[in-house]
Structure 1
Amino acid sequence: MVYMDSTLVINQLNKDWSCSSEKMNAYYAEIRKLEGKFYGIEYHHVVRDQNQLANHLSMLGSSHTVIPPGVFIQDLQAPSIKEDKEVEEVLLAEQLVLAVLLPVADWREQFIKYLISAEVPADKTKTERLVHQSKLYMLVDDSLMRKSAKEGILQKCIT
């Protein structure tokens, strides 16, 4: 069961509306690929007024206010999906040259470096954010773990 407050996305996934942009088509195609990994899937619309927590988080994300403790934010530096034209360009480039794959930066590295050696970024704002957020993390057997705010449960952090 998938619950979402976006009428547009829910209606597109339920095939009530068609996708009007290439970017939405790319996301739609990716979701359709993932559907095969489930026994069944249903998409349901939730009115934003009936989901105050999600509405509050979306407002935090769209405004540049101070993030409250216990809320983890990960900024995406690039779209999480490639449009059809981008995919075609990549395939063409792979046919012409042999690409060297570079490892993707792991979001956990900054926390691990800070917890081990107090290494911080040069940017003052990023340093303050790291110091504030790192209070929720700890290392256990060389694995980064996140402490839940109320229950004290440790959650393993993965890429």
Structure 2
Amino acid sequence: MDAYCAVVRKLEAHFEYLEFHHVPREHNVATAILSKLGSKCTQVSVDPTPTDVLMIEAEDDWRAPFIAFITDNMSPEDKAEHEKLARCSTNYVVISKELYKKAASNDILMKCILRN
């Protein structure tokens, strides 16, 4: 963050008005989640030799309609299904293509996962 601050300080002469606000991490849930996702990234090496591929039938991803509705505004053609999805999607947020459910009582986001 110090490097970003230094760049902004160099550019501040080009603006009429500049204001900084420090937001503690516990009050900035989206940033906290993004920082955790970034720390989980690892470098993956891929073996270029061909191998046999086993095809399995993937289970339906219950999250897909929510993600499509929130990010792309895509919804089912059935009016009742559309209304249900619109109503339920207010409890969810998409961050970096991942679906999170908002807790009703606080600002905690819970990552939505596939059922096993």
Q: So what's the TM-score if we normalise by structure 2?
A: 0.49
TM-score (norm 1): 0.36
